[in-house]
Every structure is written in structure tokens, then in C-alpha cells.
Chains A and B, each alone.
Chain A
Amino acid sequence: MLLELQDVHFHYAEPGANKTALNGIDLTVNEGDFTALIGPSGSGKSTLLLHLNGLLRPAAGHVLYTGCDIHAKGYDLRRVRRNVGLLFQFAEANFFGQTVCEDVSYAPWNHGLRGRALDQAVIQALEMVGLPPSVKARSPFSLSGGEKRKVALAGVLAMEPRVLLLDEPTAGLDPGTRENFLYLLKDLNRQGIAIVIVSHDLDEVAAVARQAVVLKAGRVLAKGTVREVLTSPDMENWDLEPPEAVWLGKLLGLKHNGMPVLSEAEAVSSILARGK
């Protein structure tokens, strides 16, 4: 078990309102997982992500990394920050460097990497997102939307994290670029990086994730395989809209290996099989 949340509570203190953001969350992230956190706006998804790498500290409960409480006295939080990388929403909005190299090397430099090792980390991270080393010298602002997002991800990967936390990583990307980016994420997961993704796009969740956790009002309402969760009759009660393939499957009663269909390809083959 890489990460574990035990009964985590958190609230943002606001004038005139005391909104509970997390209300007793239990969650585990294991090696190799590809978990989607889904739920309506304000359900606590992003707040939960910020707990997973120690950026927020729970008001009650515990966050464990490889079995140790990361907020225990004397625990070096940098260990979590190095191993649990976080890609913020629209991360490219935080670019500051004149060159891609400055942006990608920022985090590893902060963690003490220098010289050749730093250079290697930058080139390797760019390679992992499918960008050539020559991109290093370019201005990050001169890149396309998809390339910018990849550079932002490279900045996180340069730390060689074991877990990747992604907050709406494909928001604003066109369909072709999005598909390409999702393929990249699947590949990183296959290489052994555990991924926790926050996404409103359940078609996307169906395409990449294996586990899904439903959050609402700071509580976990359900968890299971992506198929179990996304095809659940409770989706409506969770204020979630199923992927279109699931919706079509539901209206036509389509099955794939005895289970409700999840993908477009399954829906098509199920309709064709039924007609014969």
C-alpha cells in the first residue's frame, strides 16, 4: 500500500459558513492503481488530492505514505512531495521560465538535484511525455496547448514520482490531443506509476481508469471497478451522468460478457450481436 487516508476530515474556515470539505474519508492507493475520483463540483475531489501529497493537513484523521503518518512529528514531508507528484488544473498557467528547461527542472532542483543528474532528469521526463530534448530550449509559451500540458506533466515526472495525482488533466484539450494525452497516462501507469485522476469526464474515466471512487459532500459514497461504478443504477443519485455508451446500453439493455456495456466498441458489438 502506497498511500492511505484514514478517516480524514477537513474544512475550509469561511466567514459566515463552515463548509466541511472532507467528512471522514478512507482511501487507499496501491502500486499499479489507476483510480478515478469522481463526483459533482465541490464534492471534495481536489481537496482530497491535496491531502494525498501533504499540501493540506487534515483537521482529523491520518495520511499514511508507505505505512507512515506523514504529519507525525519529525516526518520529512519532502519525502511525500518527491514521490507523490501533483499536476494541478491548467498547470501551464503556472509556467514562469523563459525556457521549458527552467520549468521542468524547477522541482528536481528544489529537491537538490544538480548538474548532470538534473539534466538527465529533465531529458528523461520530456521523453516520458513524448517530447524531444530540443524542446528544452524553447519558450514554454510558444508551445501548443497539448505540448504545454505535457511540459507541465514532465515537470512533475522529473521528480520520478511513484504516484501521480492529476486534477482534470485533459480539461481544455481538443479531442485528438486529449486522446493522445490519455494514451500517455495509460503508458505511464503501465510503467508502474500509480495514478489518481480527478475528472468530470466519465467517458474519459471509462477509457483509462480501473478503479473509481464516488465522492459527494466530502464522503465516499461508493467505490469499485470502473465498470461497477459507472454502470451502477445509483449514478443519478450521485449527481453523475454516465458515459454515453453506458446510457445507450441502459436504454437498449446491452450487455458485454453478461455485464452492462462500458465502451463504444462494446455498445456497437452488442447491438450487432443482438440483431442476428
Chain B
Amino acid sequence: MIRLEKVGYRYPEREEAVLEDIDLSIRPGELVAVIGPNGSGKSTLAKLLNGLILPTQGKVTVEGLETTAGDLVWEVRRRVGLILQNPDNQMVAPTVEDDVAFGPENLGVEPSEIRRRIGQALQQVGMSEYAGWPPNRLSGGQKQRVAIAGVLAMQPNYLVLDEATSMLDPTGRKHLLTIALRLKASGVGVVMITHHMKEAALADRIVVLVNGKLVREGTPSQVFSASEALTSWGLATPFAVRVTRALKEQGRNLPPGILTVEELVNAICS
């Protein structure tokens, strides 16, 4: 389990805290979506989860290891894979396969095992044929898939996706969501930070961050039922929720809990 207890974060020389008093647990095999307007502290939260930055208040523990303890930070990062929004910030090597190898090499994984993992990870993200390419010649979405392969090759117990789908096309996005759901089914805890409410609707739980505070937590149906609050925070509800609401306002009788277009169609046609 990843556990945040009364976690706060303040950048040096800044008065205002980016995150304040966050209590949150991520369990194995769980998909948690984090939504919030730009500047709400979502990315800071992502970096706290794998010890990329350390809390200035409270504590973060990953399977019992506190992220503040210096030597353990690599142990934490091995367990918690982090994918950032802009893959340009995490491409380090001259070729795609070197880039994927970077993580496992740093962990001291056997070369033959590394080769196996590279092949598997690139296949999982559909980038096998680009193994020898320089990353700077790939499209944004392709780079993102390579970055994801790099994290998969580390075989983490937790995966944190910080708006990782924002550079992907719909096929790539579906692909990544499928990978995330598959990892979840195999017991990996997945944290998905997203601006896409449709993606958040797939989660077991949604956490809403506003101005560095955790303001809501619940199932997608619970969170998306508060559409005024979400709009006032610069967020939105998924398309199917908006349409359902508009139809209900015009007197249509529809059941509660509709989150997807398919559910809406079933409700209308039944």
C-alpha cells in the first residue's frame, strides 16, 4: 500500500503550500483517478508518490518504506513507476531500446533479463519496430509509449500516470488504458492523473484536488453527481453525465449512475 498521512508540500522560498493535509491510501490492484484544475497540486502529488520529491510535512510510505529515508529512495522508485505528461522530459538514451533499458540497468538487472524485458515492454506498448530509432525522431505519442515501456521494464508494484494520455491519440490512449487495467487486474495499484473525465469514470475511486487540498473522494458516480461543484473548480463531468442531466432537466426519467454513452443508450432504449 502507498500511504499518505497529513502530507504537505511547499517549494523552497515560497509561502504558499502546493499540497496541504493530504490523507490518501492506494491499495494494490486498485485504480485511483486524480482530477483537479491546473495548478491544484496533482503533479506534485505524483512526484511525492515515488519519492521524486519529499514531503515537507507528514509522511509518504510505500509498502512500509518511508520516502524520506535517503538510501531507500531507489527501493521506492523501483516499486512505484512514474510516467510524466511530457515524454521529452524523460527520454535519456540515444535509441529507443537503450531508453527502455535505462531503468532496469540502474537496478542491476541481468543483461539477458534486461533484453527480455525490453522486448516484452516494447511489444506491450506496440513500439517493437522502433527499437533502434533515436527517440527524438518519434512523434509525441510514440515517445510517450516508449516512456511507458521504460517504466514497465522496471516491473513496478505501483504505476503513477501523470496525464500520461494527453499526448496520445485515441488508439494509443485506449491501448494505455488497457495496459493500466491489465496491470490493475494483476495486482498493480494504478494512480491516474487525468483531465479526461471519461478516463476518470473508469476508476474504482476518484480523488479531487483543488488548491492543494483533497476536496472530494468517492466512486465515479458519487463524484460526478456534484456537477456544479466540479464546474466551479474548472472541472467537468463526462459527456454521458452531462447529456443525462440535460435530459432529466427536461423531464426525462432516467436511472441514476449513468457514466458512459453505452449506459445512456441502454437507459434510453429500455
Chain A positions within 8 Å of B, measured between CB atoms, are 12, 14-17, 39-42, 46, 89-90, 93, 144-146, 168, 171-178, 200, 202-203, 239-241, 244-245, 247-248, 251-252, 264, 267-268, 271-272, 275
Contacts and interface: CB of A to CB of B under 8 A. Distances in A.
Given A41-B141, A41-B168, A176-B234, A15 B261 contact: no
B265 to A, nearest CB: 5
B247 A272 contact: yes
B86 A17 contact: no
B141 A145 contact: no
B134 interface: yes
B261 A248 contact: yes
Most chain B CB within 10 A, of A12, A15, A41, A145, is at A41
Interface of B: 36-39, 85-86, 88-89, 129-130, 132-134, 137-142, 163, 166-174, 195, 197-198, 231, 233-236, 239-240, 242-243, 246-247, 250, 252, 261-262, 264-265, 268-269
B167 A16 contact: no
12 contacts: A15-B132, A17-B129, A145-B38, A146-B38, A171-B166, A174-B38, A177-B38, A248-B265, A251-B265, A264-B242, A268-B243, A271-B243
Contacts of B174: 241
Nearest to A12: B137
Contacts of A14: 132-134, 137
Nearest to B134: A14
A201 to B, nearest CB: 9
B236 A176 contact: yes
A135 to B, nearest CB: 16
Contacts of A275: 252
A268 B170 contact: no
A142 B76 CA distance: 30
Contacts of B163: 172
Contact of A174 (B85, B133, B234, B261): B234
B85 to A, nearest CB: 6
A200 B139 CA distance: 13
A251 B269 CA distance: 10
Contacts of B195: 172-175, 178
Closest 9 CB pairs of A and B: A176-B234, A145-B38, A41-B141, A241-B170, A175-B236, A244-B239, A174-B37, A41-B169, A268-B246
Given A172-B85, A175-B235, A244-B261, A200 B38 contact: no
Most chain A CB within 10 A, of B88, B235, B268, is at B268
Given A41-B142, A200-B169, 19 more contacts: A14-B132, A16-B132, A17-B130, A40-B169, A90-B88, A93-B89, A146-B38, A173-B195, A176-B233, A177-B37, A200-B173, A240-B170, A241-B171, A245-B239, A247-B261, A248-B243, A251-B261, A271-B268, A275-B252
Contacts of A39: 169
A66 B130 CA distance: 38
Contact of B197 (A89, A175, A264, A271): A175
Nearest to A199: B169
Contact of A89 (B140, B169, B247, B265): B140
Nearest to A47: B139
